[in-house]
Amino acid sequence: MRQKIVAGNWKMNKNSEETEDLINELIDKLPTDLETTVIIAPTFVNLASAVDHTEFTHIRVAAQNMHQAEGGAFTGEISADMLKSIGVDIVIIGHSERRAYFHETDALLANKVETALKHDMTVIFCFGEELKDRSTKSHFNIVENQLRDGLFNLPESAWANIVLAYEPVWAIGTGETATPEQAQEMHEFIREIVRKQYGSTIADTVSILYGGSVKPDNAREIFSKPDVDGGLIGGAALKADDFVAIAEAI
Ligand code: PEP
């Protein structure tokens, strides 16, 4: 069974008090019988308090990034072990902002995925084409290469801990959303290349999230597509009412 997931990437937003307030609002407003897995990814400094605050709820907490090394002289970085030690066992890897602003390459991301899996973490692996790739009709190739380079060296057993997040870069934070048909077309393509590489059991059970300007007014239509299993949400995850409406739209 594929899991339905809605994950909120808070990016570099919300200080300690604001994090607590937003979590409290989410706890109040999220229906307790929701079958969708709800994940929030606050900043590193607020992860420990987020884990504490969500302890007796069904909200799960993820990190937005981690370093690939086990530890050592990497000033300013955070390891998988550190995350696990405060109760965080989900990590977003390969977000387009990490790829663009911090020059994270496919090879580096493959390394991070490997380290996260070694620590029994679940990886939300992000990938997606830029606008120029879509205009030159190379978007399918780009996406296939990102997947091959980032994940296709993994053994079959690793896929139980992988969630895919297709995020066309041109739709992130721009207000521009892929149409539900564009999202479905790409998600179906992604599932097919996973099928070719790993077989139907993995292809049919891996969750594929869509990310890129998902809002309460477009979520239902995007999530209604058969190969879209939920969303990775940026801007709209910062407002409890919007995030809850999106979670309820699955
Ligand atoms: C994101 O950054 O992962 C994202 C999907 O952002 P937004 O929803 O704001 O486009």
Q: What is the pLDDT of residues 1-58, one digit of tens each?
A: 799 999 999 999 999 999 999 999 999 999 999 999 999 999 999 999 999 999 999 9
Give the bridge partners for 84, in sequence order: none
Distance from the alpha carbon of residue 127 to the mean position of ligand 1, in angstroms: 12
Q: Answer whether 211 contacts ligand 1 (Cβ < 6 A).
A: yes
Structure-block tokens of residue 122: 């679940």
Closest atom of ligand 1 relative to the 97 alpha carbon: 2
Structure-block tokens of residue 85: 């030690």
| Pairwise CA distance, residues 28 & 37, whole Å | 16
Q: Answer whether 230 contacts ligand 1 (Cβ < 6 A).
A: no
pLDDT digits (tens, 9 = 90+) for 69-103: 999 999 999 999 999 999 999 999 999 999 999 99
pLDDT digits (tens, 9 = 90+) for 233-243: 999 999 999 99
pLDDT mean over 179-208? 97
pLDDT digits (tens, 9 = 90+) for 108-121: 999 999 999 999 99
For the chain, count helices (H), then strands (E): 11, 8
Distance from the alpha carbon of residue 231 to the mean position of ligand 1, in angstroms: 9
Q: Write down the pLDDT at residue 180.
A: 95
Q: Which residue has the higher pLDDT, 176 or 136?
A: 136
pLDDT level of residue 64 (50, 70, 90 thresholds): very high
Q: Give nearest CA residue, ligand 1 atom 4.
A: 234
Task: Check pLDDT > 90 for residue 174.
Answer: no
Closest CA to 164 of 176, 175, 174, 154: 154
Q: Write down the pLDDT at residue 1.
A: 72
Percent of the residues in the chain that have a pLDDT greater than 90, as a whole number: 96
Q: Which residues participate in catalysis according to the annotation? A: 95, 167
Closest CA to 177 of 93, 236, 124, 117: 236
Distance from the alpha carbon of residue 234 to the mean position of ligand 1, in angstroms: 3
Percent of the residues in the chain that have a pLDDT greater than 70, as a whole number: 100
pTM above 0.85, yes or no: yes
Q: Answer whether 219 contacts ligand 1 (Cβ < 6 A).
A: no
59 in Cβ contact with 8 (< 8 Å):
no
Q: Answer whether 231 contacts ligand 1 (Cβ < 6 A).
A: no
With H, G, I as helix, E, B as strand and everything else as coil, classify residue 6: strand
